[in-house]
Amino acid sequence: MKKIRSIEIQGNRYVSKNEIREKIKLSKGDLLTEQALKEDIENIVSLGFFLEVNAETVEVEKGVKLIFNVKEKPQIKKIVFRGNKHFSDR
């Protein structure tokens, strides 16, 4: 087991890093375990905003840098109703 020296989040565009961080229980200084990492990935997925969440580690001096990579679901920008004759569009 390696000690976590830093944690990064990559790939987010619409969901804030703070919102994602709130779901991560691991923190700087903790020993990285497979079970804790799996739980944190599941916690991030539970937000419901991501198609994919994974993690990687990079060896650094006296430990690892933990990087969570997220891929967000597409955002709905516009909904158009066609054929509506009974209700106002507003």
Quick: pLDDT tens for 58-89. 999 999 999 999 999 988 878 777 776 676 65
| CATH architecture designation of domain 4-72 | Roll (3.10)
Q: Which residues pair with 60 in a beta bridge?
A: 63
Tens-place pLDDT, residues 2-55: 999 999 999 999 999 999 999 999 999 999 999 999 999 999 999 999 999 999
Can you read off the two tokens belonging to residue 8? Answer: 């990064």
Domains of the chain, residue spans: 4-72
Sheet holding 63-72, edge to edge: 4-10, 63-72, 50-60
